[in-house]
Chain A
């Protein structure tokens, strides 16, 4: 088994799979990422991340019906597994606890406009 760490991009993909439930597949995930974050990603990058997530056991997948737009090819739909949910929760908690530990002083004076 490879490491079960959740990378930043992987986490994003995992979240989006959740958002899109039950209709998450490669291309749709990419479109959603671009819409939500404005990041430009290649379809191949999404597929690559999906394949890694599946290797780690965070998502499971099944082939769905073929559609006409896809030239008669089936798409692979992804769902989050229990392990995936755990990993996401762990990440979320870690982030929250770390966020709460930052002393107020550290953020004082940093306005959102970026001027000091």
Chain B
């Protein structure tokens, strides 16, 4: 079609679409009319209007009379459907004729697609977090990021009064929701009965309207305005008031009576918070004096529709300058004009609600969030598996080209155009991909429970969703079919009919070179996956088995919920604990290595010539039974003693603290402990061996013990079986705790739970790496079968000429070994980089020994050999007369 080159010509894209879709014999008059019309319109209404109307009228030509008939340039051809029937029949016959090939192709694709589907379900679930809230795009969370002096504070918490200030002064903020304390477990009294409550929080009434929380009873509007009000989830209501209506009932918390104002549907798991018991925020603010320095409130802002979060951030930081800066001198010892200088910074910023689950990983999140890294890694692995399956398809199809060549020849002789042949092969590969998708759906339905176990979720398979899964799957099936089928289709349809019909091979060496490099690619990807899998597994077992400096086994922590009730019976409890043979020792402190409280104080040397440099240290109040109960060991000095009154001014340092204070003689050194506004003069009496009290991703920080008490938890060291110890404890507890719930955990279990995300990652990587390798091996089986079949005659002749079976076998094996070795070599640098970047997160990590790479390569070669040798052996041992006879 000629192109109009005058300036101001009608939109070229519209013309192109028209050319592409309209029948050739009509195109001239249609374009002529449109063009003439365009000229008139432009003269009358200007170029822009003319262009729009041009598009409008162009689109109006897309009706049946003008459109090309599907898949054919010739509208007179009504033969199309018959041809497709034929393609379908031939595809089916070919499928049946070579069962091994069809099986390999289909199973590879099925595994690939099933993996991708499951991964897709997981990823979609991860991205669905918090999106059920109406207008979630407008909701943001305020994060405070301070580094003032030695103090760092980077948490999703904001000052108590910030929300009020913003709703009053910033017009973009429509509403502000507040939570305090996050998600905690506690106890409430119902008459004389004490019940455990889980997932409790304090919230303002606005939280019930900013977030979509459907109520089944009561009215959410202003429900939590009064200090002593509470709303709860349906399941909490049934827990507290079985077979009763909870509305209007009284629940006693902290000796205060709360009235139940509403009941809402249980919150979904797909949210970064899941509260079951929401008490009034006003309860907290009415009891304590709180202001701009009370950084303890999760603040969510619902912005106006068109408002920009960046503009609101500016106003947030103006508020920070006005209200917080004047207070920093007193709290942080940093003058107001230096809060953004000398290495200090102070700012607020906003997080979009939908980003919190995957992208926010701050201190004091309401719940442990998801991991974007896991989601990314697993998506990549999914695509890799599909890619490997696609390579199989290409390799096996082109390998079988010689067989299909005759068919192509006959079709061409009978008048098939190349375009039609391409259509045929694409149609065939799309059929395969649809078949694989249907099988994969079945596989997913069967395998989903196991997958759920790995990821710790309850995913279910349904074809719906937005966008609907069936639609995505259909599209993906077409894309995959065409994507994997297009290279074979082009190769097969290019055959010269004269040659193929005469029986000449169409193979040039180039084609088999391409196959080999695809195999190399597959196997280097697989080898990389093996290396990464080995590294992940080794690192995680290293983390699990590493000596921690305390003994996490045979240790139980027991949470105290109600101090008053506990203290009443403390003596009895103590005696009971001491009298049991399987309880070795116990100590009372909430500061424990795995999941306890943390407190940061400052330590300074004092005395003559001492530098006034202060070191920030974890400061844990403990008693004399703490160190033996935790199974820690003293490097030097001694433990606290009950009998020495002077020990109240004694300190036990960990090795890191001793090092970072640069004490020449740590034992007996005099130090100043700065806690809050007060200073205490202390003396070091012992050094405890470094122990891990944070994740292996962080180095051990300076820490001190001082004599004191933190009442919130008891650690118990036991002997014998954990179940026995737990039941012993439970008995004692139920008789003496005044009816408090029994909330105890094995420390070893808590420790494992710390690495839940990593463990999940390990499970995913293991499962899907194995699948990827399976798919690659399937491909190799097919290729080996095909290539050895092709060389049957050669093997027969060699044998007749005196070659021994073992020589033939070795020859065949060599042909496959070389590409595998090349792929292992290629995999080493990639695997090194991948493994290293994953390990770099850990401070305490394994070293990347060459053994990983050698092991993975050997494993790969071994598997390839096993696969190939079966076929090779068959051919090498076969009778030459059979191989040579048929002709």
A25-B33, A27-B37, A43-B33 as given contacts; A73 in contact with B28, CB under 8 Å = yes
Task: Tell whether, in the assembled complex, residue A44 and residue B66 are in contact, meaning their CB atoms are under 8 Å apart.
Answer: yes
- Which residues A39-63 have CB closer than 8 A to chain B? 42-45, 47-48, 51-52, 63
Task: Tell whether, in the assembled complex, residue A75 and residue B29 are in contact, meaning their CB atoms are under 8 Å apart.
Answer: yes
Report the minimal beta-carbon distance from A21 to chain B, rounded to whole angstroms. Answer: 18
Task: Answer yes or no: A38 CB below 8 A from chain B CBs.
Answer: no
Task: Tell whether, in the assembled complex, residue B33 and residue A26 are in contact, meaning their CB atoms are under 8 Å apart.
Answer: yes
Residue of B nearest to A67 (CB): B36
Task: Tell whether, in the assembled complex, residue A70 and residue B35 are in contact, meaning their CB atoms are under 8 Å apart.
Answer: yes
Query: Once bound together, how far apart are the Cα atoms of A21 and B2, in whole Å?
Result: 30
Task: Tell whether, in the assembled complex, residue A71 and residue B4 are in contact, meaning their CB atoms are under 8 Å apart.
Answer: yes
Please report whether the interface of chain A is mostly helix, strand, loop or mixed according to DSSP. mixed
Task: Tell whether, in the assembled complex, residue A71 and residue B35 are in contact, meaning their CB atoms are under 8 Å apart.
Answer: yes
**Which residues of chain B have C-beta atoms less than 8 A from A71's C-beta?**
2, 4, 9, 31-32, 35
Segment touching A, from B56-64, B621-629, B779-787, B796-804: B56-64
B9, B59, B65: the one within 8 Å of A47 (CB): B65
Report the minimal beta-carbon distance from B555 to chain A, rounded to whole angstroms. Answer: 80
Task: Answer yes or no: B197 CB below 8 A from chain A CBs.
Answer: no
**Which residues of chain A have C-beta atoms less than 8 A from B9's C-beta?**
71
Task: Tell whether, in the assembled complex, residue A43 and residue B32 are in contact, meaning their CB atoms are under 8 Å apart.
Answer: no
Report the minimal beta-carbon distance from B429 to chain A, rounded to whole angstroms. Answer: 36
- Which residues B15-48 have CB closer than 8 A to chain A? 26, 28-37, 39
Task: Tell whether, in the assembled complex, residue A74 and residue B60 are in contact, meaning their CB atoms are under 8 Å apart.
Answer: no
Query: Once bound together, how far apart are the Cα atoms of A70 and B29, in whole Å?
Result: 9
Residue of A nearest to B6 (CB): A71
Chain B interface, number of residues (Cβ within 8 angstroms) = 24
A43-B57, A44-B66 as given contacts; A27 in contact with B33, CB under 8 Å = yes
**Which residues of chain A have C-beta atoms less than 8 A from B56's C-beta?**
42
Task: Answer yes or no: A69 CB below 8 A from chain B CBs.
Answer: yes
Task: Answer yes or no: A72 CB below 8 A from chain B CBs.
Answer: yes
Task: Tell whether, in the assembled complex, residue A69 and residue B36 are in contact, meaning their CB atoms are under 8 Å apart.
Answer: yes
Query: Once bound together, how far apart are the Cα atoms of A75 and B37, in whole Å?
Result: 12
Query: Once bound together, how far apart are the Cα atoms of A72 and B33, in whole Å?
Result: 11
Query: Once bound together, how far apart are the Cα atoms of A25 and B29, in whole Å?
Result: 9
Report the minimal beta-carbon distance from B515 to chain A, rounded to whole angstroms. Answer: 50
Report the minimal beta-carbon distance from B866 to chain A, rounded to whole angstroms. Answer: 65
Please report whether the interface of chain B is mostly helix, strand, loop or mixed according to DSSP. helix
Query: Once bound together, how far apart are the Cα atoms of A48 and B30, in whole Å?
Result: 11
**Which residues of chain B have C-beta atoms less than 8 A from A44's C-beta?**
57, 59-63, 66
Task: Answer yes or no: A85 CB below 8 A from chain B CBs.
Answer: no
Residue of A nearest to B31 (CB): A73
Residue of B nearest to A45 (CB): B60
Residue of B nearest to A54 (CB): B65
A43-B61, A44-B63, A48-B65 as given contacts; A72 in contact with B36, CB under 8 Å = no
Residue of B nearest to A43 (CB): B57
Query: Once bound together, how far apart are the Cα atoms of A72 and B26, in whole Å?
Result: 15
A47-B65, A69-B39, A71-B4 as given contacts; A26 in contact with B60, CB under 8 Å = no
Query: Once bound together, how far apart are the Cα atoms of A71 and B61, in whole Å?
Result: 19
Task: Tell whether, in the assembled complex, residue A72 and residue B60 are in contact, meaning their CB atoms are under 8 Å apart.
Answer: no
**Which residues of chain B have C-beta atoms less than 8 A from A74's C-beta?**
28-29, 32
A42, A52, A63, A70: the one within 8 Å of B36 (CB): A70
What mask results when residues 1 to 19 of chain B are scored 1 for a CB within 8 Å of chain A, else 0? Answer: 0101000010000000000
Task: Tell whether, in the assembled complex, residue A47 and residue B66 are in contact, meaning their CB atoms are under 8 Å apart.
Answer: yes
Residue of A nearest to B34 (CB): A43
A26, A45, A67, A69: the one within 8 Å of B29 (CB): A26
Task: Tell whether, in the assembled complex, residue B36 and residue A47 are in contact, meaning their CB atoms are under 8 Å apart.
Answer: no
A43-B57, A44-B57, A45-B60 as given contacts; A70 in contact with B32, CB under 8 Å = yes
Query: Once bound together, how far apart are the Cα atoms of A27 and B36, in whole Å?
Result: 8
Query: Once bound together, how far apart are the Cα atoms of A43 and B36, in whole Å?
Result: 11
**Which residues of chain A have C-beta atoms less than 8 A from B59's C-beta?**
44
Task: Tell whether, in the assembled complex, residue A48 and residue B63 are in contact, meaning their CB atoms are under 8 Å apart.
Answer: yes
- Which residues B51-73 have CB closer than 8 A to chain A? 56-57, 59-63, 65-66
Task: Tell whether, in the assembled complex, residue A47 and residue B4 are in contact, meaning their CB atoms are under 8 Å apart.
Answer: no
Query: Once bound together, how far apart are the Cα atoms of A104 and B30, in whole Å?
Result: 48
Query: Once bound together, how far apart are the Cα atoms of A48 and B32, in whole Å?
Result: 15
Query: Once bound together, how far apart are the Cα atoms of A59 and B60, in whole Å?
Result: 22
Query: Once bound together, how far apart are the Cα atoms of A76 and B34, in whole Å?
Result: 13
Query: Once bound together, how far apart are the Cα atoms of A42 and B60, in whole Å?
Result: 6
Report the minimal beta-carbon distance from B140 to chain A, rounded to whole angstroms. Answer: 47
Query: Once bound together, how far apart are the Cα atoms of A42 and B33, in whole Å?
Result: 12
Tell which of A42, A48, A67, A70 has the most Cβ of chain B within 10 Å.
A70
Residue of A nearest to B1 (CB): A73
Query: Once bound together, how far apart are the Cα atoms of A106 and B83, in whole Å?
Result: 61
Residue of A nearest to B15 (CB): A71
**Which residues of chain A have C-beta atoms less than 8 A from B33's C-beta?**
25-27, 43, 47, 70, 75
Report the minimal beta-carbon distance from B33 to chain A, rounded to whole angstroms. Answer: 4
Tell which of B2, B33, B57, B61 has the most Cβ of chain A within 10 Å.
B33
Report the minimal beta-carbon distance from A113 to chain B, rounded to whole angstroms. Answer: 36
Query: Once bound together, how far apart are the Cα atoms of A43 and B35, in whole Å?
Result: 11
**Which residues of chain B have C-beta atoms less than 8 A from A75's C-beta?**
29, 32-33, 36
Report the minimal beta-carbon distance from A57 to chain B, rounded to whole angstroms. Answer: 16
Residue of A nearest to B2 (CB): A72
Query: Once bound together, how far apart are the Cα atoms of A75 and B26, in whole Å?
Result: 11
Query: Once bound together, how far apart are the Cα atoms of A47 and B57, in whole Å?
Result: 11
Query: Once bound together, how far apart are the Cα atoms of A87 and B281, in whole Å?
Result: 83
Residue of B nearest to A61 (CB): B29
**Which residues of chain B have C-beta atoms less than 8 A from A70's C-beta?**
32-33, 35-36
**Which residues of chain A have C-beta atoms less than 8 A from B60's C-beta?**
42-45
What mask results when residues 370 to 399 of chain B are scored 1 for a CB within 8 Å of chain A, else 0? Answer: 000000000000000000000000000000
What mask results when residues 749 to 763 of chain B are scored 1 for a CB within 8 Å of chain A, else 0? Answer: 000000000000000
Query: Once bound together, how far apart are the Cα atoms of A52 and B66, in whole Å?
Result: 11
Query: Once bound together, how far apart are the Cα atoms of A72 and B34, in whole Å?
Result: 12
Query: Once bound together, how far apart are the Cα atoms of A71 and B15, in whole Å?
Result: 12
Residue of A nearest to B4 (CB): A71
Query: Once bound together, how far apart are the Cα atoms of A42 and B65, in whole Å?
Result: 14
Report the minimal beta-carbon distance from B559 to chain A, rounded to whole angstroms. Answer: 75
**Which residues of chain B have C-beta atoms less than 8 A from A76's C-beta?**
29
**Which residues of chain A have C-beta atoms less than 8 A from B57's C-beta?**
42-44
Query: Once bound together, how far apart are the Cα atoms of A71 and B57, in whole Å?
Result: 17
Report the minimal beta-carbon distance from B34 to chain A, rounded to whole angstroms. Answer: 7
Report the minimal beta-carbon distance from B2 to chain A, rounded to whole angstroms. Answer: 7
Query: Once bound together, how far apart are the Cα atoms of A74 and B34, in whole Å?
Result: 12
Query: Once bound together, how far apart are the Cα atoms of A63 and B25, in whole Å?
Result: 12
**Which residues of chain B have C-beta atoms less than 8 A from A67's C-beta?**
36
Task: Tell whether, in the assembled complex, residue B63 and residue A73 are in contact, meaning their CB atoms are under 8 Å apart.
Answer: no
**Which residues of chain A have C-beta atoms less than 8 A from B30's C-beta?**
26, 47
Query: Once bound together, how far apart are the Cα atoms of A27 and B40, in whole Å?
Result: 11
**Which residues of chain B have C-beta atoms less than 8 A from A69's C-beta?**
35-36, 39
Report the minimal beta-carbon distance from A83 to chain B, rounded to whole angstroms. Answer: 20
Query: Once bound together, how far apart are the Cα atoms of A51 and B2, in whole Å?
Result: 25
Task: Tell whether, in the assembled complex, residue A43 and residue B65 are in contact, meaning their CB atoms are under 8 Å apart.
Answer: no
What mask results when residues 80 to 123 of chain B are scored 1 for a CB within 8 Å of chain A, else 0? Answer: 00000000000000000000000000000000000000000000
What mask results when residues 60 to 95 of chain A are scored 1 for a CB within 8 Å of chain B, else 0? Answer: 000100010111111110000000000000000000
Query: Once bound together, how far apart are the Cα atoms of A70 and B65, in whole Å?
Result: 22
User: Lowest 10 A-B CB distances belong to which pairs?
Assistant: A44-B60, A73-B32, A42-B60, A44-B61, A70-B32, A27-B33, A76-B29, A26-B33, A71-B35, A51-B65
Contact sample, A vs B, 30 pairs, CB 8 Å cutoff: A26-B30, A26-B33, A27-B37, A42-B57, A43-B61, A44-B57, A44-B62, A45-B60, A47-B26, A47-B29, A48-B65, A51-B26, A51-B65, A52-B65, A63-B29, A69-B35, A69-B36, A69-B39, A71-B2, A71-B4, A71-B9, A71-B31, A71-B32, A72-B2, A72-B4, A73-B29, A73-B32, A75-B32, A75-B33, A75-B36
Show the binding face of B for A, using Cβ within 8 Å: 2, 4, 9, 26, 28-37, 39, 56-57, 59-63, 65-66
Given contacts A71-B9, A73-B32, 16 further A-B contacts (CB under 8 A): A27-B36, A42-B57, A43-B34, A43-B37, A43-B60, A45-B60, A47-B65, A47-B66, A48-B65, A63-B28, A69-B35, A72-B2, A73-B28, A73-B29, A74-B32, A75-B29
